[in-house]
Amino acid sequence: METKKNEFCVLCEKPIKNNHRNRSKCSPCTTRIRRYKMKEKAVELLGGKCKRCDWSGNIAAFTFHHPNNDKEFNISCVSNKSWKIVVSEIIKCELLCSNCHHIEHSKYNEEKFIEAVKNYKLMR
């Protein structure tokens, strides 16, 4: 029985390179899957909800905040690192939703800035 070779990725429908035609997915889609699975495990490890507001939902909206600025690598780009190495980075982090992470890094919540906004007179 002859095995049918895949010419197109089942996810993105782009052509699969000649040397990888025995696969059903192209390399970029396979990498996306590995990254998703790693993030899914990381979110689960940190409790599956935002540490600040308790939000839980789609993992695309979760971020990994390094409160001590001791980041060795970006957790979102770890498709080729071992889980053991990834865990050593994850445990340094707080799981935050995108909103809370943006607020955490915002310069708009500084008292001096807020005071300047209150005192700013628009030119008309």
Domain positions in the chain are: 18-119
Q: What is the pTM of this model?
A: 0.76
Per-residue confidence band for 71, with pLDDT thresholds at 50, 70 and 90: confident
Does residue 5 surpass a pLDDT of 80?
no
Task: Quote the mean pLDDT of the chain.
Answer: 85
Q: Sign of dihedral through CA atoms 99, 110, 89, 75?
A: positive
Using only C-alpha atoms, the chain has a radius of gyration, in whole angstroms, of 21
